[in-house]
Amino acid sequence: MGKTLVVGAGGVSHAAVHKMAMNADIFTEITLASRTKSKCDAIAASVLARTGVQIATAALDAMDISATVALIRQTNADLLVNLALPYQDLVLMEACLQAGCHYLDTANYEPEDEAKFEYHWQWAYQEKFQKAGLTAILGSGFDPGVTSVFATWLKKHKLSGIRQIDILDCNGGDNGQAFATNFNPEINLREVLADARHWEHGDWYVTPAMTHKVAYDFPEVGEKNMYLMYHEELESLSTHFPEIERARFWMTFGDAYIMHATVLQNVGMTRIDPVMHDGREIIPIQFLKTLLPDPGDLGAKTTGKTCIGDIATGPAQDGSGEKTFYIYNICDHEVCFAEVGSQAVSYTTGVPAMIGAAQVLKGNWIQPGVWNMEQLDPDDFMDMLNAHGLPWQVHELSEPVTF
């Protein structure tokens, strides 16, 4: 088993497919498909030049279930890796069920007409995948993805449970642009401008976006302002680790980013509902996306490092009382670009997508049903992070976080 169909041809796909080609013993045949085949062809040409591995390409409308089923059958794919838009998760899961193919994605489903991303739509497929004898892996990026595996690894090796967890995502990179998003502008802005939510004592607490700010000194990056916001792994971690009393997600943003995002929101450019313009309907945020830099094109211009990880507190496995651990990865934008031609934000999502796919193809995570990353054995995944460009480290802290 090793035939893989990758759907989507953005920056994450660029990184993931390059890393798949570097592991040809696992990924024996790779097909890359997208609505715009020329984007697939460009990635394929880069893969061939860097690795000597040839991959097939195809044009595909990912919202067309029958077309996806036909392509799965044509390629005889064992696994579909969804690196397209979150709006397309459910139709691609349907296609996998019809074609008898395992499924993996990096972000949970989000309705196109509502900025609301939750897992319940995908969790509803649990029985269908079980009956079909197929595996669906949800959220195999970095956050969600690696951050969830970090939590599971800590529960397996350091803590008997997690009482509180803070996920910290810092991008200390600089691309020289006045305003640019780290990943797909449409998805990024929908996510960032949504109300912040965190889990505490069995309930969700909601605060306005970008209102809770804390300065934090990140390893090898330095002090950055991080903002409390909602992220999907909070839902899955609080569901699958019921002992968690508090779960929060933090992401760093510079003052210029906050200023631009606020202005764009205030003038209506981040709206996701149709508006009339010059006699035709447009969706403002999609028009804005065409004006902003493509994150996939910024790799050569980006310097600095990312630092992403978990700070988790809970009872120690050895019975020595409560302990707090900080487990994280540091990734250098320039090193990533030298290896695969991607900046670190695409790399830190694309590499875990490759590693999660490898866990399925190697048989480690073959279990009929729909699963989040924290529900799966972490050890080989963690070993592959160290071996394939995302080395991690873990340190015991003197006390729980107080921010």
**Tokens found for residue 104:** 């993996």
- The helix (run of H) or strand (run of E) holding residue 251 is strand 246-252
**Does the pLDDT of residue 243 top 80, yes or no?**
yes
Predicted confidence (pLDDT) per residue in 52-105, tens digit: 999 999 999 999 999 999 999 999 999 999 999 888 999 999 999 999 999 999
pLDDT of residue 113: 64
Q: How many CB atoms lie within 10 A of CB 217?
A: 8
φ, ψ of residue 151 to 5 degrees: the values are: -60, -45
Rounded to two decimals, the pTM is 0.92
pLDDT of residue 259: 75
pLDDT of residue 300: 76
d(CA 372, CA 68): 24
- The helix (run of H) or strand (run of E) holding residue 271 is none
Helix H segments across 249-312?
255-266, 284-291
**Tokens found for residue 105:** 């994605």
**Does the pLDDT of residue 299 top 70, yes or no?**
no
pLDDT of residue 283: 86
Q: Across the strands, what pairs with 200?
A: 203, 246
Q: List the domains of the chain with CATH numbers.
A: 3-138 (3.40.50.720), 146-342+392-397 (3.30.360.10)
pLDDT of residue 121: 95
DSSP state letter for 373:
G
Q: How many CB atoms lie within 10 A of CB 175?
A: 19
φ, ψ of residue 394 to 5 degrees: the values are: -130, 135
pLDDT of residue 18: 98
**Does the pLDDT of residue 182 top 70, yes or no?**
no
